Amino acid sequence: MNQEKNDLLLDIKNLQVSFKIGKKKVIKIVRGVDLKIKRKQIIGLVGESGSGKSVTSKSLLSINEFDITEAEKMMLYSKKSIDNDEIETVDLLKLKRNEWIKIRGKKIGYIPQDPLTSLNPTRTIKKQLLDVLKNDPRFSSKAEKISYLIDLLEKFGIRNAKEKINHYPHTFSGGMKQRVVIAMVVAARPDLIIADEPTTALDPTVQASVLALFEEIRTNYNISIIFISHNISVIAKFCDYIYVMYAGKVVERGTKIDIFTNPLHPYTWALITSIPEDKNEKLYSIPGTPPDMANLGVGDPFATRNQYAMEIDFKKEPSLIKVSETHSAATWLLDPRAPKVELSEQLKKRIQFFRKVFNIND
């Protein structure tokens, strides 16, 4: 029990985020999300655009604008400092506006989709990186900081960093800019990094090399990562645990093996089926569009797009049902009264493929 507690980094229960639109209207965007992250774990948040991934993760930094954030629990069990394993419990719900400064960047880092959100075009990257290390007790001189930063940039794939560090952001390519941002976020050695679609804006040819850095961050720096992507195939590569989001809720969660070899929710089925694979195969796309969060009716918001929807789906939203220690899904198909459904041939093929990838034999 104590061991488990020491392993736990973030524990969120029933997170709800609403936005005020104008004076009266309040739209609920995140509708009760539970999220647990262990140390050194990479968790994936996946779902189509608009499902609430960014709003969920930004609430961990209190950087959503005009929001009302509520939860039953929002705890961060952070290390006192890099070389002190003692745990400090931070109740994120109780933090005052000025106290977030101690969390943002220092305990929880954020890598946005567009590196230019984090980089100031008018300052050299050396100046910007040095800002991150302001008042950092690990260093006794500026020279020490600079040599640490050069080393870090080199480690994250910036060749000739000693010279490049004096340059302005615009002299770097998109992929290189994102590498600088990653180095900048890691420099402060946070406990957790939120990477929100960090490669979506990059050229597909450089995406893979940037993605590979996340595995290094976890292994070499003991940092946990929340990796957000609308693309489930990106998540498949390195996330230990996956949360599938739809309309502001988690509709399925499980280990990478649970999700890819035994998916249970029709929405997860659709995401997996729509992974582009064979150029000759007709690409499946999920019918319909994500719901309007301002006008959610009764029932399961996915029902209208769900070919397996039953009467109950239009009347009552299903809650998460636990099917194993690690795996849960919110679908009426798990109800004992539900008919058995046949998966599409395409999906069966994909599942077979992932079983091979993960070395699972029948």
User: Which residues of this chain interact with ligand ADP, rule CB under 6 A?
Assistant: 19, 29, 47, 49-55, 65-66, 293
Q: Which of ligand ADP, Mg ion, none has residue 19 at its interface (CB below 5 to 8 Å by kind)?
A: ligand ADP
Give yes or no for a contact between 196 and 140, defined as CB atoms under 8 angstroms apart.
no
When CB distances to Mg ion are compared, the closest residue is 54
Q: Which uninterrupted H or E stretch holds 244?
A: strand 241-246
Output 54 or 118, the one with its CB closest to Mg ion.
54
Residue 169 interacting entry, from ligand ADP, Mg ion, none, C-beta within 5 to 8 Å by type: none
Pick 113 or 304: Cβ nearer Mg ion:
113
Which of ligand ADP, Mg ion, none binds 50 (CB below 5-8 Å, type-dependent)? ligand ADP
Binding site for Mg ion (CB under 5 A): 54
Name the pairing type of β-strands 192-196 and 108-111.
parallel
Q: Which is nearer to Mg ion, 207 or 255 (CB)?
A: 207
Q: Choose the one of ligand ADP, Mg ion, none that binds residue 2, judging by a C-beta under 5 to 8 angstroms depending on kind.
A: none
The first and second tokens of residue 355, run together, are 């079983």
| Distance (Å, whole) CA 279 – CA 204 | 16
Instruction: Name the region of 188 (left: φ>0; alpha: ψ -120 to 50; beta: rest).
Output: alpha
For 221, the 3-state DSSP assignment is: helix
Structure-token pair, residue 158: 């910036």
> CB 87 → ligand ADP: shortest distance, Å?
30
Q: List the structure tokens of 75.
A: 């705890």
Residue 54 or 207: the one with the smaller Cβ distance to Mg ion is 54
Q: Which residue's CB comes closest to ligand ADP?
A: 54
Q: Minimum distance from CB of 271 to ligand ADP (Å)?
A: 13
The CA–CA distances, whole Å, from 145 to 30, 136, 157 equal 40, 9, 19
Q: Which is nearer to ligand ADP, 132 or 251 (CB)?
A: 251
Min. distance of Cβ 47 from ligand ADP in angstroms? 6
Among 297, 285, 302, residue whose Cα is nearest residue 247 = 302
What does 345 interact with, of ligand ADP, Mg ion, none (CB < 5 to 8 A by kind)?
none
CB of 65 to ligand ADP, least distance (A): 5
Minimum distance from CB of 226 to Mg ion (Å)? 12
Task: Provide the pairing of β-strand 328-329 with 321-322.
Answer: antiparallel
Nearest one of 281, 343, 283, 284 to 308, comparing CA atoms: 343
